[in-house]
Structure formats: C-alpha cells, structure tokens
Chains A and B, each alone.
Chain A
C-alpha cells in the first residue's frame, strides 16, 4: 500500500508542468479563465489525493494518545 504515496507527485506535475499546456483565458469554466480553472480543479483533486493517501496510510490507524 506504500506505493499509493506516489500519488503525491501528481499535484506537482499538474501545478508546475501543467500550466505550460493550459495557459489560456478561454473557454471560461464556471466563469473562470481556463488557467485559473485548471489550478482550482487541481486544488480540489489534491485534497482528494491526500485523503486517499491518508486513508491508505497505516500510520493513521494508531490510536491517538
């Protein structure tokens, strides 16, 4: 299950490399310029990815003191 941690690399690719491919104003997505919409979408996905990593991480099953 540790391999699931590698999902954490994806937000870096999306937010550091991704903009090179989506630096455009149109089409507007939910009213946002396309580049901004891309960044916002990836923030949402990042949160989801972190939730998956959290759920799979055995360290979080230790009982809190």
Chain B
C-alpha cells in the first residue's frame, strides 16, 4: 500500500457510484439509455462533447507529443477550434432531423437520409471498426496510468480488468446518463489539476513560462516552431483541416448531439468549447517542461512524460491524485464508446437482419452487448500486437470518410444517391487501408512534387477519392434511372 493508491481507488469508486446514481428516476428504455431522452441542457451536452477532447489521448498523448515533437502538437489546439466553428452550422440540422425521425445512432441518420438499410449497415461497420481500437486506446492508457501512478502496486493488466468491469457495469445500468454524470467529476478534476500542473511545473523548474521556452529554444533550436520538413507547415495545415472535418464523424460524438434538448443548446456550446480547449495548452506546458527535465523517452514512451515528471516532482499522494484524474479521462470516453458500439450492433446490425425486432428487444440486446464489447476490447488491449496499432491510426481516417455523404445530405437537394454514398465510403476506406498497409504516410514517394507539398497529410487522398467516386456514381445512377422514370410517366 502506498500513498497514491487510495486516491486512484477513490476515483474508480466515484465513477462507479456516479454512474449508478445517474439512473435514478428514469425508465431506461432505448431513448433514455442511448440519447438521454433528448433532454440534456447546455451543461451536459457541453460535457459530453468536451469528453471527446479530454481523453487519455490528450492527457498522455498531448503532453507526450509536446514533449517528443514540440510545435507539431499545436495542431490539436487548432483543429478542435475549427471543428467547433463548423459545429455551429452543421450540428443543429443534424439534431433537428434526428429528433423528428427518432434516431438513435449515426448509422440511423444515413438509413433515413438515404432511405437505405444497407448503407446503414455499412456505416455501422465502419464505425465499429474505428471504435474498438479507440476503446483499446483508453484501456491501454488506463493501465499505464494506474501502473505508474500507483508505483507498480497494481499491474496494468489488473487495472485494465477492473476499469473494464466498472465501465461496463455503469454503462449497462445508466447508459449515457452515466457518462454525463461521471464527466462532471472528470472535467472538474481535469480543469483543476491540469491548470495547476501546467503553471506549477514551468515555474518550479524554470522560473516561468518565458524562461522555460527560452531554455528549450536554447537547448533545442527550432523545437517550438514547425520544422521545414516532415511535420512542416504544409503538414500542419492539411492535418488541421482534415481532422476538423472528421471531428464530429466519430459516432459517439455524433450521438451526443442527439442528447441535446434544443438546437440553441448546441449553438451556445460553439462559443464556449473553443475556450475550453485552451486547457490543452496547460497539457502542452507539462510536456514542454518535461522535455528538458526527464529527457530520453522515445517512441511510444513519450506518452509517459507527464507521469515521469510528476513522479520526479511530487509526493506519492499527489501523484495519486493526478493518477485519479487520468483514470477518469479513460473511463468517461470509454463509457461513451462502449455504449455507442453496443447501440450500433443492436440497432443497426441486429435490427437490419431482424426488422420485426421492437425497441424493447433492441434495448435489451444493446445492454447485453456492453460486457461483450468490453471483453473484446480487453482482449485486444492485453494481446497488443501490430494489428490494433494499425487500426488505431486508421480509425480517424475511417470515420472521416463519412463526412462527404453526410454534408451533402444536409443540403436541400442532395446530389448524392445512396449508391454514390456507399461507393464513396467504400472507396475512401479502401484507400485508407491501402495507404496504411503500404506504410505511406505522406507524398514523399512523389519526388516530382515540390518538396513542401510532399508533406501534405496523406488522408487528403482518401477523401478526394471518396468524393470523386461519390459524385461519379451518383451522376451515373441518376442518368440510368432518369429515362426509366420518364418512360413510366
């Protein structure tokens, strides 16, 4: 037993307790369970949407990125901001349509807009393939956090099992209400401790932010600006644009839009969420502070920077408090992913195969699937392996492929047909897979391109292929069906 463990255990118990309490006074039908009865006000919607920003990826990965690579980490700040600007215009029509048609999932949206069950199945499959590695990432982060912050008293394997059981239990009982309630605890702790760490560590080690960045620039010239090659300006701009478009295509973020009570709630959030992003700035400060204090971490280990520096700086009990915060950053997004994946399987795969299933059956199945999905994720987490890492890198690119057909469907007159949408998504996903399998991360193979243009994010290729196929197939289908319609009239 050491000073850190009680705090980590308390966080886990707090999540469990809040997760169970969230159920009180509600009949847990499918509408309550997955979309909170479409009755959440500004604060809960805010926390669910913000839940997406503060995952273990930002806690460990954001500080690790700043630690290991410096300025390229800034892209995380920029893309979220632009995604929120888009959200103001894009999300209210999605919300309204979902409410009018009583939709539960992102896949439902495609089913209704394109009047095609098959397209819904395709979207659900793309979603699930992207979600499982994302859940694995949360579990993996949880294991790392508990092992380091608990000074090795609890192995990461045990931590992953405990975390998975807790999250599966409260998701089964409370659904999205559990995610919303636990995110209150998570975000409170994030705000307090991340801001503290981001201010204290630079002052403690360097005497302030300015002296810290001067010391870094002195020791590693060019570390705080984008490099001329590799993760350069061209990489930065193309990555910011791509990830901003993909941001709300994650099915669990998309689903949190449905929980809103009104469209105004969503528009209001577009003002506040950019400011809330600034907390990431303090995460970066921690990473920058660590870069000269705990040097030598390389490869995937750069993600340990925050905890290595914390262990070096603070007493065990305070490391425990930071660990507790980290545990919540894994559990809350984990709960949303788990619920979304279970809903997609029950509502969009099972129901597509059994159209006679009613809401009650789908709801029961979704709850039963929660522990199953959690087990699959634990299995992949513990087994590790290259496949899951590859899938993880592909996940964001996968969901981004849903963007063109989604945006076009919001127009008054949709130029995309269901065949076009499906062909575009398949072509985009296939391009992502092909590029990943060949290890193509940029355009460096095309040596005839200007050197800087070669740094563009390769994800652009998949999106362009997707869009072209979508348009061509849609036009071809319209032309093929138009004479038949004319003859019929």
Interface on A for B, CB 8 Å cutoff? 5, 8, 11-12, 15-17, 19-20, 23-26, 28, 30-33, 35-36, 39-40, 42-44, 46-47, 49-51, 53-54, 57, 59-60, 62, 64-65
Judge whether B237 and A62 touch: CB under 8 Å. no
Complex interface: chain A residues within 8 A of B82 (CB): 11-12, 15-16
Q: Mark B86-100, 1 if CB is under 8 A from A, else 0.
A: 001100100000000
Contact of B209 among A12, A23, A32, A39 (CB under 8 A): A32
Question: Does B152 sit within 8 A of A, measured CB to CB?
Answer: no
Complex interface: chain A residues within 8 A of B212 (CB): 31
Known: A11-B82, A15-B82. A60 touches B224 (CB 8 A): no
Question: Does B214 sit within 8 A of A, measured CB to CB?
Answer: yes
Residue of B nearest to A55 (CB): B271
**C-alpha spacing A51/B394, complex, angstroms:** 35
Judge whether B77 and A53 touch: CB under 8 Å. no
Judge whether B274 and A50 touch: CB under 8 Å. yes
Q: Could you say which of B84, B224, B240, B265 has the most chain A C-beta atoms within 10 Å of its C-beta?
A: B224
Judge whether B224 and A33 touch: CB under 8 Å. yes
Chief secondary structure at chain B's binding surface: helix
Interface pick from B21-29, B275-283, B477-485: B275-283
Judge whether A36 and B209 touch: CB under 8 Å. no
Known: A12-B85, A20-B237; 12 extra A-B contacts, CB below 8 A, are A19-B226, A19-B237, A25-B224, A26-B217, A31-B210, A33-B217, A36-B71, A36-B74, A50-B270, A53-B88, A59-B263, A64-B262
**C-alpha spacing A3/B233, complex, angstroms:** 31
Judge whether A50 and B88 touch: CB under 8 Å. yes
Top 3 nearest A-B pairs by Cβ distance? A31-B209, A31-B210, A33-B224
